[in-house]
Amino acid sequence: MNPDKVDRSRLEKLTDLPNIGPAIAADLRLLGINNPDDLSGQSPVELYHKLSEMTGARQDPCVLDVFISITRFMEGEEPRPWWHYTAERKRVFRHQNKTS
């Protein structure tokens, strides 16, 4: 969902989260995340690596940005576009080939 349209009081399904459409919702379900509350306490980096392992393919680094956006949102941050986290991801994970 577009971050500008997210209503924190109406988080019933994964696509109610910022930056989540049907494709990423399906990826999250593959990871065992079936509703927004399942993201509590989850590490975006671990989710990213687990998805890569489960699919047998390196995921686009932007997927990590999306995972950062939704885990931070569930921790109480405002809904932000996934690209808001790109510079942080590049700065923090630039030493790791798998996520930069």
pLDDT in tens, 26-48: 999 999 999 999 999 999 999 99
**What is the reported pLDDT for 94?**
73
Q: How far is CA 10 from CA 5, 15, 67, 79, in A?
A: 11, 11, 19, 13
pLDDT, the chain, mean? 93
Alpha-carbon torsion, ordered 7, 5, 67, 10, to 10 deg = 20
Q: Give residue 97's pLDDT.
A: 53
Round to whole Å and give the CA distance between 16 and 1: 6
Going from N- to C-terminal start, the domains of the chain cover: 11-99
Architecture of the domain defined by 11-99: Orthogonal Bundle (1.10)
